[in-house]
Amino acid sequence: MMTWIIFSMLGYLYKIVPFLVWTHKYSELVGKEKVPSLKEMMNEKLGIVLYRLFTISIFGIIVSVAFSSGLALWIFLGIQVLASIIFAITIIRVLLK
């Protein structure tokens, strides 16, 4: 349940942050000068990669705990941390565009 909620929040964040930044920075400039499209604000392909990494890491963590594998747990936690850092950097880069 929590996993589903977190994925929903991450998905909405990936969609709404570029929209809000675009509206704030560019909405008044449409028709006056060339402005980026919403798709250009975020890397959609990277988003797909990140969600796959999150999915793999969550299932990996569950399996690691089930089989009491410390090494596997560290690996999948590492993947999740890495994906989280990349996700955060991606969002911050949109804010700075």
Residues that bind other proteins (CB under 8 A): 19, 22-23, 26-28, 30-32, 35, 37-40
Q: Which helix (H) or strand (E) holds 24?
A: helix 2-26
Contact between residue 57 and residue 80 where contact means Cβ atoms under 8 Å apart: yes
For other proteins, give the closer residue by CB, 35 or 58.
35
Q: How far apart (Å, rounded) are the C-alpha atoms in residues 7 and 13?
A: 10
For other proteins, give the closer residue by CB, 8 or 23.
23
And the tokens for 32? 């006056």
At closest approach, how far in Å is the CB of 43 from other proteins? 15
For other proteins, give the closer residue by CB, 20 or 92.
20
